[in-house]
Copies of this chain bind each other. A is one copy, B any other.
């Protein structure tokens, strides 16, 4: 029933009865519990007559706060959000995810504490903590599992670490799942099937199916970066960070572009250097960028063939070389996937850009906390 209040501005008892078909006594009982928990409040828009109580009720988005941290390979964004998942205060800083969980989570907690002070809130008012990371997550336990680039994080108990600071649920997810959800819910709300591809230092994907994040049986879904590819003009298959050879990422990831540009004698150190060089029009750099686009496009074509989304959103640092990248992607997708799957397909760059993870994580967390089973727990506690 809380779901109705979360999606509609205000409701009367009669509205709830009409929309649910529930009996008056059931509606009264559940609404009283939500009022007692402070999750629903009189909206003040009603027309109370005489001494009767207010007739309209609304979701109390300020009853508590959510804290979220979008952890990347080299940077972290954190936010304090209301219970609808709307970002209220936000901060960011540089990190190195390979410093390990103690260091990175301590930094996140410092940022959370600062955000709570800014908002004049206490840890007791935190209804949920959400963390996303650039690696595979066993969603059920919140553990990072065999992450290629997060040394020291394997099987680390992230929810357990935050339990020392907050008495609330902790959601841990893969970064690109949060990005996909953020982009779908805010930019493409009418598109049930969406594929988000992150082309940054590494390559990954998030799948939205029927409006929900598809994590698969173990949370491993969306592993597009380690699909093997064959490239006719490559002498040897390059070794990937995952230990295999010839992965999509080993050709088209930012780290692989940097490797190839350096091998060609060009002076680049970071993925941003590579992007800047490609944007200057350097012939070698542009050729490699187009190749990366075609290789990414091959993997996206496989995904389109298997999953038939309506929209593919591309994000990550490489999206800044849109012209070269998208030409290659489109070429491969339209060449390889069924006409039925591509006739209405859109391939577009991210609109939320670097904030997609943070926005999506807050919305995922709000949905997760207010799932029916959770609400009962909140009401018992509240």
A307 CA to B307 CA in the complex, in Å? Answer: 9
A239 CA to B147 CA in the complex, in Å? Answer: 39
Contact A344 B223, CB 8 Å, known A230-B230, A298-B228, A307-B306: no
In the complex, what residues of B have CB within 8 A of residue A345's CB? Answer: 217
In the complex, what residues of B have CB within 8 A of residue A307's CB? Answer: 207, 214, 216, 221, 306-307
A220 CA to B22 CA in the complex, in Å? Answer: 40
Q: In the complex, which of the residues B26, B214, B230, B344 contacts A218, with contact meaning CB atoms closer than 8 Å? A: B344
| Number of this chain's copies in the complex | 2
Interface: A138 (CB within 8 A): yes
CB pair B336–A244 under 8 Å, yes or no, is: yes
Interface: A62 (CB within 8 A): no
| Cβ of A310 to closest chain B Cβ, rounded Å | 4
Interface: A145 (CB within 8 A): yes
Interface: A308 (CB within 8 A): yes
CB pair A217–B302 under 8 Å, yes or no, is: no
A344 CA to B345 CA in the complex, in Å? Answer: 34
CB pair A338–B24 under 8 Å, yes or no, is: no
A-B contact pairs, 25 of them (CB 8 A): A21-B22, A23-B26, A145-B339, A145-B340, A146-B338, A146-B339, A191-B217, A207-B306, A209-B214, A210-B210, A216-B307, A218-B340, A218-B343, A218-B344, A219-B308, A220-B308, A220-B340, A223-B305, A223-B337, A226-B305, A226-B336, A227-B336, A244-B335, A302-B306, A306-B306
In the complex, what residues of B have CB within 8 A of residue A24's CB? Answer: 23
Q: Name the prevailing secondary structure of the A interface residues.
A: loop
CB pair B336–A228 under 8 Å, yes or no, is: yes
Interface: A296 (CB within 8 A): no
Interface: A185 (CB within 8 A): no
| Cβ of A373 to closest chain B Cβ, rounded Å | 16
Interface: A224 (CB within 8 A): yes
| Cβ of A187 to closest chain B Cβ, rounded Å | 16
Interface: A85 (CB within 8 A): no
